[in-house]
Chain A
Amino acid sequence: MSNLTKKFKDMTDTQLLLTITIVVFFLMYIGAIVFQGKGFLKPQTFFNILNANAALIILSCGMSVVMITGGIDISVGGVTALVSMCAAVYLDFKGGNVAVSMLIAIGIGLAYGIVQGLLVAYLDIQPFIVSLAGMFFARGMTTIVNTNPFNVQNESFQALKNARIIVPGMGSVNKKGVYVNAYVEIGVIVAIVIVILMFCLLKWTKLGRNFYAVGGNKQSALMLGINVKRTKFMSHLICSLLAGIGGYVYFLHVGSGAATHAQGAEMNAIASSIIGGTMLTGGVGNIIGTFFGVLSLSTIQNIVSSAGLDQAWWTGITIAAMLCIFLVIQSVVMARKKRAVKK
């Protein structure tokens, strides 16, 4: 036991919170299997969770970077809606091709990143205010671009949307006795690539290290010769760029443009990051944790809906409750650890 407490004390903040997240995720999934029956045992159930949340994984990665640097960005949901709508309008009304629509998505993300990054880093405005305005701007712009929601008919886009990547060895036999292959959508591949890229960026590059340094203590980072402003700028740039890419992945999943798309996605992204062990105060966080955060969040959503509590309000309430619990856990764990270190 004393060995365990010693290990607990020796853990860095990042490791500690990451462990909590992964344990919670596995407990939750096992609980789902036990209480909700066999549905959760099928690999495809898990892959469906991935399919539906590929965009959220990408958004959360960006959010984690900003939060590690000590900021926050609540415009990602709005950017997702804006990207979906712009790409949809371009593909259907302007008869454009898919590659250019992707460029549009990335362009919107970059533009957002540059403006918000400049305002936050170089003009020292609170990131929350900037991104709140950004969120409202994006939502408003979405309706200005096109008011009514519509489904995209573009053929090459449909082909891309319906592309399925088969996961070998994970299929299952359905009720008719036919073997069905397990599959994921293209978005999942993009999301996994981005998770790996962001993990490497945060772990092994100078920029990634700077994010942690600036988030941990701005003053010391400055004294170490880190360009604090540029680091902050880069964090917002990466976040918005990922919001653009995530927006396109979302668009690929739903295949339509609407002003109400991704409502509350910023909240889910923040919640995932927090559940994944990213501290709001900055300096602590991990992309792997964020990944598991998204999985925990979407698993609980699945549990809620398969438990028959299908009304829309339960999802909102459970996510909020979960976020609340994790925030309090963070706050308590950190306070206890600080006391333990002092002793």
Chain B
Amino acid sequence: MNQAANKKKPIVLSKIYKNQIFIPLAAMFILLLFNLIADPGFFKISMGLNSAGNPVLSGYLMTVLDNGSELAILAIGMTLVTAASGGQDISVGAAIAIAGSTLLRVLCGTNTRPDTLRTPIFVAFLISMLVAMAFGAFNGALVAIFKIQPMVATLILYTAGRSIAAWINNNELPIISDPKFAYYGGFIPGIPIPTPFFIAAAMVVLITLILKFTNLGLYTQAVGINESSSRLNGLNPVFIKWLTFVILGACVAVAALIKVSRLSSINYSVIAKDIEMDAILAVALGGNALSGGKFNMAASVIGAFVIQMLTTTLFKFKVPSDALPAYKAVVVILLVVFSAPVVREKLGKLTKHFGIQRKEAV
């Protein structure tokens, strides 16, 4: 390590430790820098016509905005669950399959190739949201009432979810031909920015307002930091934990709408595959403690887009999609190793050590 690096390090580190939002931003910066050096084509955004003949923006950055949206929506719910229960929900991918399947079932009925939709999209969406929230409530009940570790409790839905989704539609794959349904996951004619981004933005605004005008944020953090003392202070930890899972269920339904709308169809075993990993990663990258307690919603949302940027970058370098998890796993391990208290302490000592050395030198 050279002299200059030693001098700069403590200042940068202390800044990062002070403000949580620096962690995802720094990761984003590193990724952008890497792309800039490796291939500046990453930043190119061009105007083109899509298959429906509408002018749309395309390019790798637009892909990140587009595909990162559902991840950001999931990250919102996942952050709350993480903060309150100190564990993560690993069934979100399976729950998306269920919500999506319900959505299609309500829209199509038993006819898998309908010419007209049976119900308005909004009604179908509300029903699928109710179903997703019911499954969230089931997870929440296992965690909050029966005191089962969140990840193990949600493992139940993780295994059964895709089976249930297939069962809802009798294992058939309905296809919706109505172009209006494709708006939610694609483009609204005349607007060149992908719709999922607007939906994600709306969700972020909604959750910001909720956190600002209700006690949800404060209460979840209190429960996450110390459950028994929050109970002694008059909170109801069981209800709050359960509530966070229900909120995650609502987020899942919104993500499912986008996912299903992208294809205008569904594939039970592939839809939202491995998305639970990305959602957890987004929360971790946002600098939130995976063991619960304090959280920063903005950092999680940015973290989600950074994860999508990583995925897009890997795809750009022709990494096959099946091999993608291996690379991401390495990133996760590096991330948790560096955020582990033991390592942090060691790093802290190291920087202190350098600080003392510098003083002595002066």
A31 located at the interface, meaning its Cβ lies under 8 Å from any Cβ of chain B in the complex: no
**Closest beta carbon of chain B to A171's beta carbon, Å:** 37
A96 CB-CB contact with B under 8 Å? no
Contact, CB under 8 Å: A147 / B171: no
A86 at the interface (CB under 8 A from B): no
Contacts of B328 in A (CB 8 A): 136, 140
A17 to B150, CA, bound (A): 22
9-residue interface stretch from A186-194, A215-223, A236-244, A324-332: A324-332
Q: Establish whether residues A313 and B171, one from each chain, have CB atoms under 8 Å apart when the complex forms.
A: yes
Q: Are A140 and B327 in contact (CB under 8 A)?
A: yes
Q: Does A341 contact B (CB under 8 A)?
A: no
CB of B333 within 8 A of chain A?
A: yes
B325 touching A129, Cβ below 8 Å: no
Q: A137-B329, A141-B326 are in contact. Are A123 and B342 (CB under 8 A)?
A: yes
The size bracket of the interface on A is 35 or more
Tell me the interface secondary structure of chain A in the complex. helix
Q: Mark B67-105, 1 if CB is under 8 A from A, else 0.
A: 000000000000000000001101000000000000000
Interface size on B, residues (CB 8 A): 47
A27 within 8 A of B: no
Q: Which of B158-166, B222-230, B241-249, B259-267 contacts A (4 or more CB under 8 A)?
A: B158-166
Whether A162 sits at the interface, judged by CB under 8 Å, is no
How far is A123 from B338 in the complex, measured between Cα atoms in Å?
10
Given contacts A316-B159, A319-B159, contact A124 B342 (CB under 8 A): yes
Taking CB atoms and an 8 Å cut-off, the chain B residues in 245-297 that contact chain A are: 274, 277, 280, 284, 290-291
The contact of B329 among A133, A315, A316, A327, by CB within 8 Å, is A133
Q: Measured between alpha carbons, how far is A114 from B159 in the docked complex, in Å? A: 28
Q: A124-B341, A264-B159 are in contact. Are A140 and B326 (CB under 8 A)?
A: yes
Min Cβ gap B338→A in Å is 10
Cβ 8 A contact of A270, one of B155, B163, B324: B155
Cα(A324)–Cα(B148), bound, Å:
10
Tell me whether B148 and A331 are in contact (CB under 8 A).
Answer: yes
A residues in contact with B284, CB < 8 Å:
129
> B151 at the A/B interface (Cβ < 8 Å)?
yes
List the 5 shortest-distance A-B pairs measured between CB atoms, nearest first: A140-B326, A313-B163, A320-B160, A316-B163, A137-B329
Besides A136-B274, A136-B328, A317-B167, 5 new A-B residue pairs in contact (Cβ under 8 A), listed by A number: A132-B332, A267-B158, A313-B164, A313-B167, A313-B171
- Residues of A whose CB lies within 8 Å of any CB of B are 72, 74, 119, 122-126, 128-130, 132-137, 139-141, 143-144, 147, 259, 264, 267, 270, 280, 311-317, 319-321, 323-324, 327-328, 331
| A to B CB contacts below 8 Å, 13 in the list | A128-B149, A129-B290, A132-B277, A133-B330, A133-B332, A136-B329, A137-B326, A313-B162, A316-B159, A324-B142, A327-B156, A331-B147, A331-B148
